[in-house]
Amino acid sequence: MTSHFDLLVVGSGVAGLSAALELNPSMRVCVVTKANVTTSTTQWAQGGVAAVVSGEDSFADHIADTLAAGVGLCNADAVNVLVTEGPQRVAELAARGAQFDLDSKGKFELAREGGHRWPRVIHAGGSATGAEIERALVMAMQHRVEEVFDFSMASELLVENGRCVGVVVIGKDQSRREITANNVLLATGGACQIYSVTTNPTLATGDGMAAALRAGAVVADCEFVQFHPTALYSQREPRPLMTEALRGHGAVLRTINGDRFVDEMLPRDVVSRAITAQMQNDQSAHCWLDATTLNDFEHRFPNLFSILQNEGISPDKDWIPVAPAAHYFCGGIATDLNGATSLPGLWAAGEVACTGVHGANRLASNSLLEGMVFGSRVAHAINANLSATETGALADVHKTSRKLSLSDFWSNHSTSSISKIDPSRLSDVRRAIQETMTQNAAVIRSAESLQTALDQLNDLATDQDSAGANDSLAGYEVENLLLCAAAVLVSAHSRTESRGAHWRADWPETNPQMAERTALLP
Ligand SMILES: Cc1cc2nc3c(=O)[nH]c(=O)nc-3n(C[C@H](O)[C@H](O)[C@H](O)COP(=O)(O)OP(=O)(O)OC[C@H]3O[C@@H](n4cnc5c(N)ncnc54)[C@H](O)[C@@H]3O)c2cc1C
């Protein structure tokens, strides 16, 4: 047992570190993180951070664009907080040392991305924004965080008398320890590793969401998994992303035969569906991204240039093969406007959370912003000793008529504890989950495809229960993937309409009666 903290932050991406840095200096804070402290999806972010910083732009316009992308499911108060507090958080980050790209007048250079009516995306190193943000936050953290437990996986939440009081941590050597705290923040990022075709790093296995579900916290909107339209089509896993900013600068999409077929600046869900339909029509595995007309690709997007060079592609003369890939988990642990969850003592921020800002589909470059804004709000709420409020997605899940239970799906499997996984089969099971999700629950789904995937997951879960106990790090990851995949399938199956990132071939219309959160309990 180690010392007791005021705040235990799980995750060292933008959300977790934004919280740690804003905690009252008299309070004790530690960070638990699964790999090296800089390893995160944040570090991989390319395009940038959306924020209203130019005179032609306005809060009203950024709010309107975010609400439009979310197709009737955003929580308007959460969007208002995101947009109005965003510019200040970006300014603080710059003051902490993040070096964003500037124009000749010394102002932020702004890019335009799909779904944004103005150029409002602040970036660094061309398309290496996340790496610069992570660098600045990790530097700042070193003077503030008392202890960093790196290469340590938070596997379970400790709950006593209905309150979260800490976490169980598995070390690199598979040792287990308990770390206790008055407040636990889950900032563990997304879960897109449930898919075989994804842009997410291998650590994005939905650990925080799964642990929260096991502890009884409410999770929401899991059917809305955003697919990025333009991941590089290659044998590499995860698939390298070709940032939206390329299209913002004039790159165009072409069918396998070279024809233009879609307005590249539409929101991601629309472009991903258009590409998927086109690929099905042409029976092709990818379409083309033509960036040959872009000036100075090599210097403007140096990281992408080097990825492409390694694949033998010269973007100034070759078209780039691209296809949609699972990219962002819009749902997550339901929180109020301060990041409080339904479990006292437990907070969530960043991609693991469902604050309500993304609704049915996230607007490009709003997620780094969400991590900064809501991570920081968690700290301010703890500083002020606040409890959960009836606001944001947490209020929505209490009101919704769409309440589901995972236990209806897990006929032979307990959601409340780690399953017994045969260690020799872990990587096969992981692969089987990812493949069935990509085949049956990606950009376009149907009742039939979702049921196929549910049956396969149930078989995998049942199989595992017959083997010996396995609570290793890899075992937890597979269990968490199973739980998060099931959460997506159960939620997607019950939403008999198409909306945003959730598209049902058998229910292609949007049903105004279903403009409600999907609340999921264990
Ligand atoms: C290729 C790519 C490009 C992107 N580009 C952009 C962009 O330009 N703009 C934008 O807004 N968004 C972008 N995104 C999305 C954005 O990067 C993420 O949504 C955001 O960084 C998530 O931040 P986070 O702090 O919530 O989580 P992360 O940055 O993912 O951090 C999660 C942290 O939790 C740790 N962790 C996970 N599980 C455990 C566990 N069990 N125990 C201990 N630690 C754990 C991880 O090690 C990590 O430190 C992009 C995503 C990808 C994949």
Phi then psi dihedrals of residue 174, to 5 deg = 70, 10
Q: Is 149 helix (H, G, I), strand (E, B) or coil?
A: strand
* Rg over CA atoms, the chain: 21
Q: Is the CB of 127 under 6 A from ligand 1?
A: no
Q: List active site positions.
A: 268
- 257, with CB counted inside 10 A (0-12, 13-18, 19+), is exposed
* pLDDT at res. 469: 55
Q: Is the CB of 129 under 6 A from ligand 1?
A: yes
Q: Is 304 helix (H, G, I), strand (E, B) or coil?
A: helix
Contact (Cβ atoms closer than 8 angstroms) between residue 375 and residue 17: yes
Q: Is the CB of 440 under 6 A from ligand 1?
A: no
Q: Is the CB of 50 under 6 A from ligand 1?
A: no
Closest residue by CA, ligand 1 atom 8:
47
* pLDDT at res. 522: 73
Q: Is the CB of 39 under 6 A from ligand 1?
A: yes
What is d(CA 37, CA 265) in angstroms, rounded to the nearest whole number? 35
Q: Which atom of ligand 1 is nearest to the CA of 35?
A: 47
Contact (Cβ atoms closer than 8 angstroms) between residue 346 and residue 211: no
- 175, with CB counted inside 10 A (0-12, 13-18, 19+), is exposed
Which residues in the chain land under pLDDT 70?
1-2, 410-421, 463-470
Closest residue by CA, ligand 1 atom 3:
45
Q: Which atom of ligand 1 is nearest to the CA of 48?
A: 8
What is d(CA 171, CA 369) in angstroms, rounded to the nearest whole number? 31
Residue 365 C-alpha to ligand 1 middle, in angstroms? 12
* pLDDT at res. 248: 85
* pLDDT at res. 72: 97
| CA 449 and chain centroid, separation | 24
* pLDDT at res. 245: 84
* pLDDT at res. 2: 59
Q: Which atom of ligand 1 is nearest to the CA of 369?
A: 11
